[in-house]
A and B are shown apart, each in its own frame.
Chain A
Amino acid sequence: QQKVQQSPESLIVPEGGMASLNCTSSDRNVDYFWWYRQHSGKSPKMLMSIFSNGEKEEGRFTVHLNKASLHTSLHIRDSQPSDSALYLCAARGGGFASALTFGSGTKVIVLP
């Protein structure tokens, strides 16, 4: 069974600071990664996806992927209180027919 490990479990960041979240899969068949954000009491919503080695930036959010080590990271710069949420990493292994496996998440708290 595929495992997706996220670290840290929780993170406190000052407003305007940088938050860095990590995610690693133990399944060598994993091909794609996604990051989801879940505000308290709400449903998860997709934030970013990354399929190729390297870096992808969307606004204040940057995602890195190293396929050789099956490691992805999410970086939030200029963090805002509205970024306070649970961030979930998801991976897919075994091709298009496979369902996503989620990690247990990183809880980010941005203090004003």
Chain B
Amino acid sequence: EAAVTQSPRNKVAVTGGKVTLSCNQTNNHNNMYWYRQDTGHGLRLIHYSYGAGSTEKGDIPDGYKASRPSQENFSLILELATPSQTSVYFCASGGTGENTGQLYFGEGSKLTVL
């Protein structure tokens, strides 16, 4: 099965600090995504990418940056973390065409901002 690995799995950060969440996929998928999950909100799209060097804003990009330096790696960066960014973050990779919707998710990164 397709493999998506996230790190760190758990992170405690201070308000105003910088946080980088990393994601690596071995599926050779062009598309990668960052979602956050909060109770009552399902999965909300933050940023996504169609390939190395590209990043696109999702539905809730404010306060987040993304970086796609290679096909395999996609990072989510919080330059100035705030308590409202406390959440579980999921990275996913997916194919193209009709396979766009078949996403493979990592195990999630739980971020707590104090």
Q: What residues make up the interface of A, taking CB atoms closer than 8 Å to B? A: 1, 4, 6, 32, 34, 36, 42-46, 49, 51, 88, 90, 92, 96-105
Contact = CB atoms under 8 A, between A and B. Distances in A.
16 contacts: A1-B59, A43-B90, A43-B105, A43-B106, A43-B107, A44-B90, A44-B105, A88-B42, A92-B101, A96-B96, A98-B100, A99-B45, A101-B59, A102-B44, A104-B41, A104-B42
Interface size class of B (residues with CB under 8 A): 20 to 34
B41 A90 contact: no
A36 B96 CA distance: 18
Contact of B101 (A43, A90, A103): A90
A44 B45 CA distance: 14
Contact of B42 (A43, A46, A103): A103
Contact of A49 (B41, B48, B102): B102
Interface string B70-114: 000000000000000000001000001110111101111000000
A33 B48 CA distance: 19
Nearest to A2: B59
B101 A100 contact: yes
A100 B41 contact: no
A51 B44 contact: no
Contact of A46 (B33, B35, B41, B103): B103
Contacts of A42: 107
B43 interface: yes
A6 B69 CA distance: 36
Nearest to B49: A99
A102 B33 contact: no
Nearest to A6: B42
